Amino acid sequence: MANLNPYWMPFTANRAFKKAPRMLVSAKGHYYTDDTGRQLLDGFSGLWTSGVGHCHPKIVAAVQEQVAKLDYSMAFQMGHEKVFQLSEKVVQMANPNADPKGFTRVFFTNSGSESADTSLKIALAYHRARGEGQRTRLIGREKGYHGVNFGGMSVGGIVPNRKVFSAAMLPGVDHIRHTHSIPDMGYSKGQPTWGAHFADDLERLVTLHDASNIAALIVEPAQGSAGIIVPPIGYLQKLREICDKHGILLIFDEVITAFGRVGAAFGAQRFGVKPDMINMAKGLTNGVIPMGAVMVKEHIYDTLMNGPEHMIELFHGYTYSGHPIAAAAGLACMEIYEEEGTWAQVRSLEPKFEALIHSLKGEPNVIDIRNVGLMAGVELAPRAGEPGKRGFEVFLGAFNDGVVVRNSGDIIQFSPMFNSTHDELERIVETVRKQLRAIA
């Protein structure tokens, strides 16, 4: 066994882990194998990443071929074919009718956090190029998650992620209210019917700051990390209307919802609302190689294409933007989504998954259940004086029983594979049920 001390693990209870490590050694399809040779059913698709299954042969082959052919290509002032092909594919998925005013351009990053910060910077640059450089305020939402970099953290709204760093929040950021209320929408199946009025909170901030100072609103169309908060019917439409009325850019952070999780290529399609920018990562490469992106509508790109032609138009980018191996993985991934009919697969599993997950209603300590597509959250009442412990115990118990789910505090999160069998979905839910009954 390796020395576990030097590695400081991210978003992990390091001391507990190192006392009782959970070490994975390989993965195939829907299963991990741990260092004791045990098979674990992956009910979380990696970390929302690996919906078409681990080590998909097509992605493995694409990566192997690419690494032996062009391992790296200078990202600035140079190009390579695969990243252009991938951009075209992503744009086609978002803009199937090739609307010249629709999503037409893709800027690559290496993660969801970088996508968040990139989209916020593009929003500022866009308004400045339009002669409205005073539009600098950025609006996020309570309970929002946009990664851990300074921009994303500042517009994010998950308290523990902000608390310790509060002195370093970006200035000029505000938040609209989150949409969750158990008494009013508890146990909703799919989109709650109540709560569209929460969008009006954006008008409150417009009144407070004046629209002429606001650059963008960033929201996850369906919230993941805060514990699966599904947008009330009509809510996203209202946000779009208010943004349009006041010239505010609308950014959808689709790091979780892009590429299948909600039964469409993008949450924007599933929920029928077109933002101005879409952030993505995870499903862009099935998690195989880190890659993120920000896709923008033509007017944004077009506005920024100014100045002398030999000059860089946007002073932003990463050494690994559009990395050739990531691009090869991404291209293979897009082909898989098309060949395997991923969006339809997810839609066809959704009713079964919904029925199963809601069958946990009435189990000990369950206080709410929420779902859309193949994502779901089961919220537990916290144990007195020990918030998060009950959720952690369910996660550990399920792991010991051969199933991987995730807990975010006392919310158990589910994100099964896109081509799960009914038996696998049942096993995931029944394993969690057993833990709920076993844990006081």
Can residue 147 be called a binding residue for ligand PLP (CB under 6 A)? yes
CB distance 148 to 165 below 8 Å: no
Can residue 117 be called a binding residue for ligand PLP (CB under 6 A)? no
Separation of alpha carbons 176 and 144, rounded Å: 10
Question: Other CB atoms closer than 10 Å to residue 353's CB: what's the count?
Answer: 23
Instruction: Find all residues with CB under 8 Å of 238, minimum gap 6, and list them.
Output: 196, 199, 200
Residues 43, 51, 53, 112: which binds ligand PLP (CB under 6 A)? 112
Q: Cβ 47 to ligand PLP, closest distance in Å?
A: 7
Residues 219, 255, 262, 425: which binds ligand PLP (CB under 6 A)? 255
Closest to ligand PLP by CB, 48 vs 198, is 48
The DSSP element (H or E) to which 33 belongs, if any, is strand 31-34
Q: Which residue has the tokens 């897009």?
A: 334
Q: At 79, which amino acid appears?
A: G
Closest to ligand PLP by CB, 9 vs 25, is 9
Can residue 373 be called a binding residue for ligand PLP (CB under 6 A)? no
Residues 111, 179, 188, 408: which binds ligand PLP (CB under 6 A)? 111
Separation of alpha carbons 58 and 61, rounded Å: 5
Closest to ligand PLP by CB, 11 vs 76, is 11
Where do runs of H (alpha helix) occur along 164-289? 182-185, 201-209, 235-246, 267-271
Binding mask 34-73 for ligand PLP (x = CB under 6 A): ----------------------------------------
Binding mask 119-138 for ligand PLP (x = CB under 6 A): --------------------
- Number of residues lying near ligand PLP (CB under 6 A): 14
Q: Cβ 406 to ligand PLP, closest distance in Å?
A: 11
Residues 143, 146, 274, 370: which binds ligand PLP (CB under 6 A)? 146
Q: Cβ 214 to ligand PLP, closest distance in Å?
A: 21
Separation of alpha carbons 62 and 318, rounded Å: 23
Go through 150-184 and write b for each residue having 16 or more CB atoms within 10 A of its CB, e for each that does not: bbbbbbbbbeebeeeeeeeebeebbbbbbbbeeee
| DSSP secondary structure string for all residues of 364-388 | TTEEEEEEETTEEEEEEPPBTTBTT
Q: Cβ 59 to ligand PLP, closest distance in Å?
A: 18
Residues 201-220, interacting with ligand PLP (CB under 6 A): 220
Binding mask 166-205 for ligand PLP (x = CB under 6 A): ----------------------------------------
Q: Dihedral through CA 349, CA 221, CA 150, CA 44, nearest 10?
A: -10
Can residue 109 be called a binding residue for ligand PLP (CB under 6 A)? no
CB distance 436 to 367 below 8 Å: no
Q: Which residue has the tokens 């990562």?
A: 281
For ligand PLP, which stretch binds (CB under 6 A), given 51-59, 142-150, 202-210, 261-269? 142-150
Where do contacts with ligand PLP occur on this chain (CB under 6 A)? 111-113, 116, 145-147, 220, 224-225, 253, 255-256, 281
